Amino acid sequence: MGEYALLYILFAPFAGALALIMVSNRQPMLVRGIAASAAFVSLVASIYLFYAYDPVKGGFQFVQKFEWSRQLGISLHLGVDGIGTPLVLASSILLFTGIFVSWHIRDRAKEFYIWLLILAAATIGVFMSLDLFFLYFFYEMSVIPMYLLLGMWGSHTKRYLEMTDTEGLKQRDSVGFIFNFGSNSKEYAAMKLVLFLSAFAVAALMGILLIYKYAGLNTFDILVLREQAHLMNIPVLGTTLDKIIWVLVFFGFASIAPLWPLHSWSPVGHAAAPAATSMLHAGVLMKLGHFSIIRVAFEILPETTREMMPIAAVLCMFSIVYGGFVAFYAKDTKYVIGYSSSSHMGYVFLGMAALNYISLSGAIIYMFAHAMATGMLFAMAGWVYDQTHTRDLPSLGGLSNKMPFISGCFVVGCMASIGMPGTVNFIAEIMIIVGSWDKYPLQVIVAVLGIVLTMAYLFKMMRSLFYGPMNQQYSHAHDAVSTVDRLPLLVMIAVSVGFGIFPMHLYDVVRSGVDPLVARITHVVPVASEEGDRSTVKPEARADSSDTNPVSFSGDPPRRTPLVARGAE
C-alpha cells in the first residue's frame, strides 16, 4: 500500500459508487456487498495509514501531487499530518459501520449507498487536501449527498402531520411546504442545511480568493502559502486585510462546526437524517469546520489567529450551555443527541482558542473521540426508531427487556459521551480543561458544568428509553441479534475503549501535527514590513507554561521525544 495509501482511502468509496451504478436494485446483497467492500478497503488503508505515520518525523507524509491547472496554480495535492491522520481514520470507521447500520434499507438501497459513499469520500478529501481549491471543492461536495440523503431517505420530525393548508389538505410536496420554515419536515431540514452551509461557504470562499489574490503567488498550495504569503498590515476598510480574511474564513467554516449562533441547521438535520447519515454528519461532517479553520486560518494567518481566537473562546460558552439545556428539555431522541453534539463542539473550539500544545492536542483527540461516541448513539437511536417507529421519549420506556444488547451498548455510548475514564473522550476532555485553564478559567468552569449537564440529559434519555414500564404497543420490538446488526456497535466501542486504555500512539500522532503549528502561532511568526522585507517577531520569549517540552525560538518546531522513548528513559 505504501505511498499510495491516500489514493486507496480517497478513491475506494468513489470506485464503489461507480460500481453500484452498474448494479440493479433487484440484487440487494450484491449492492450491499459492493458498498461494504469499498468501505472495507478504505478502512484497511486508513488503519495502515494511522500506524504507518511516523510521529517522530512529523510533518506531512504520504504526499501525492497531481497538477490540475498550471495557469491557476491548482493541484490535487494530498497529504496528512498528525491532525488529519486520525480524522481520516474516523471517517473510514464511520463509513464502514454506517454501511452495516443501513443494511436493512430496502427503498432504493443502491442510490442510498452511492450517496453515502460519496459523502464519506468528500469528508476524507477535505482531511487530505493540501490545496485550498480542492479543500473547498471537497467541502462543497459533501453538501450535495447530505441534501439528498435527508430529503429522500430521512424522516419527518415533530409537527409534520399537523401542517395543513386552509382547506385541510396536506402540503407535503409543494414548494410552499418545503420553504415553510415553521415546519419540521425532512424537506425543511434538507433545505435549511443547504442554505446555511452554502451561504457561509461563500464567505469562506471569499476569504480563500482574497488569500490567493493578495498573496501574489499564483497558487492555492497551502504549504507554499503558509511560508510565503504576507497578508499583514494591508489597510482595508479601516482595518487590515488579514483580519477580514480571518473573519471570513473562521465564520464561513464555523457554520458547519456548528458554532453558536450558526448552529440551528444541525440538530434539525440530525433529527431528519437516516441513522448512517447522522453518524457521518455528527462524527466527521461537523469536524470539517474545525479542521478547515486549522488548515486555512491557523496555517496561513498564524499571527492573526493568535489575536482573534478569543472570539471563539467567548462563543464556545454559548455553544456548550445552550446546546446542553436544549438537549435536556428535548423530547426527541435525535434532537437530544443532535443538540448534545452541538454542545460538545464548543469544547473543541475552547481547546483551539487556548492555543497551547495540551489544549489543541486535546481538541484534535476530542474530534476523533466524539466521532465514535456520537456514532454509537445515533446508530442505536436509529435501531430504536426502526423497531418502534417513534422517537418521542415520553411514549417510550422499558425497552431494556426487549433490547438487552442495545441497552448495554447505549450505556457505553453515554459513558463515552460524558467522558468516563476508560474512554478516549476522557483523555481529550482532561487535556482541553487543563490546557485552557491558565488562559480561559471562566470558560473551563462553564465546560465542567457542561459535563455535568451532559450527564443529566443522557441519563434522562437512557431512563426514558430503556427503563420503567414498557408501552405494550412496542412489545413487538426486538434486539440486535445478528452479526450484521451488532458489528458496527462493537467496532465503535472497541475503538473508543481501546484508545481510552492505550492512547499513546494516538497522542504521539496528534502531537506531531500540533507542535509545529502552536510553535508557529505563539512563538516565532514571520511578517512582512511595509517595504516588503521579512522580519521576525517574537511575541513570547518563553515556553508555554502548560507544556514541559523545550521550545525552539528560532521558528523551528520544538523537538519532542515520543512517549515510548520517554518511558524507556
Strand, coil or helix: what is 248?
Answer: helix
DSSP for 516-548, written as a single string: HHHHHHHT-EEEE-TTS-EEEE-S--S--TT--
174 falls within a domain: no
Contact (CB, 8 A) for 68 and 34: no
Residue type for position 381: A
DSSP for 478-498, written as a single string: ----SHHHHHHHHHHHHHHHH
257 falls within a domain: yes
pLDDT value of position 148: 85
478-517 pLDDT, tens digit per residue, is 888 888 889 999 999 999 999 999 999 999 999 998 988 8
pLDDT value of position 142: 87
Task: Give alpha helix (H) positions in 395-440.
Answer: 404-418, 424-437
Q: How far apart, in Å, do the first and last CA atoms of the chain sit? A: 34
Report the largest interatomic distance among the alpha carbons of the chain, rounded to a whole angstrom.
79
pLDDT value of position 143: 85
Q: How far is CA 517 from the centre of its chain?
A: 20
237-265 pLDDT, tens digit per residue, is 557 888 888 899 999 998 888 888 877 77
Q: CA 273 to CA 52: how far, in whole Å?
A: 35
Helical (H) or strand (E) element with 563 = helix 563-568
What is the rounded radius of gyration, in angstroms, for the C-alpha atoms of the chain? 23
Report the 10 Å Cβ neighbour count for 277: 29
104 falls within a domain: yes
**Residue 107: pLDDT above 50?**
yes
294 falls within a domain: yes
**CA distances to 117, 177, 425, 494, 508 from 503, in Å:** 29, 49, 11, 13, 9
> Pick from 30, 14, 12: which is nearest to 110 by CA?
30
Q: CA 303 to CA 536: how far, in whole Å?
A: 12
b or e along 50-63 (b: 16 or more beta carbons within 10 Å of the residue's beta carbon)?
Answer: beebebeebebbbe
Report the mean per-residue pLDDT for the chain.
81
In this prediction, residues 350-366 reach a mean pLDDT of: 91
**Residue 543: pLDDT above 50?**
no
Residue type for position 98: G
Q: CA 209 to CA 133: how far, in whole Å?
A: 9
Q: What confidence tier does 267 reach under pLDDT thresholds 50, 70, 90? A: confident
Q: What confidence tier does 393 reach under pLDDT thresholds 50, 70, 90? A: confident
pLDDT value of position 169: 47
**Total count of domains within the chain:** 1
pLDDT value of position 156: 63
**Residue 230: pLDDT above 90?**
no
C-alpha cell at 524: 516565532
Helical (H) or strand (E) element with 339 = helix 333-354
> Pick from 469, 315, 463, 335: which is nearest to 391 by CA?
335
135-173 pLDDT, tens digit per residue, is 999 999 988 888 888 878 767 665 444 444 444 445 444
In this prediction, residues 407-411 reach a mean pLDDT of: 90
Which residue would you say has higher pLDDT here, 35 or 282?
35
C-alpha cell at 72: 491557476
Q: At what angle do helices 109-128 and 132-141 cross, to 10 degrees?
A: 160
Q: What confidence tier does 90 reach under pLDDT thresholds 50, 70, 90? A: very high
In this prediction, residues 361-372 reach a mean pLDDT of: 92
142 falls within a domain: yes
What is the span of the domain harbouring residue 13? Answer: 2-157+182-568
By CB atoms closer than 10 A (0-12, 13-18, 19+), residue 22 is: exposed
Global pTM? 0.84
172 falls within a domain: no
Contact (CB, 8 A) for 72 and 350: no
* Percent of all residues in the chain with a pLDDT value above 90, rounded to a whole number: 31
pLDDT value of position 99: 92
Contact (CB, 8 A) for 90 and 368: yes
Least confident of 246-255, 282-291, 367-376, 522-531: 522-531
113 falls within a domain: yes
Report the 10 Å Cβ neighbour count for 159: 11
Helical (H) or strand (E) element with 71 = none
**Residue 408: pLDDT above 60?**
yes
Q: How many helices (H) and strands (E) does the chain have?
A: 24, 6
**Residue 174: pLDDT above 80?**
no
Contact (CB, 8 A) for 338 and 465: no
pLDDT value of position 231: 66
437 falls within a domain: yes
In this prediction, residues 462-469 reach a mean pLDDT of: 85
Q: CA 247 to CA 534: how far, in whole Å?
A: 24
Report the 10 Å Cβ neighbour count for 80: 27
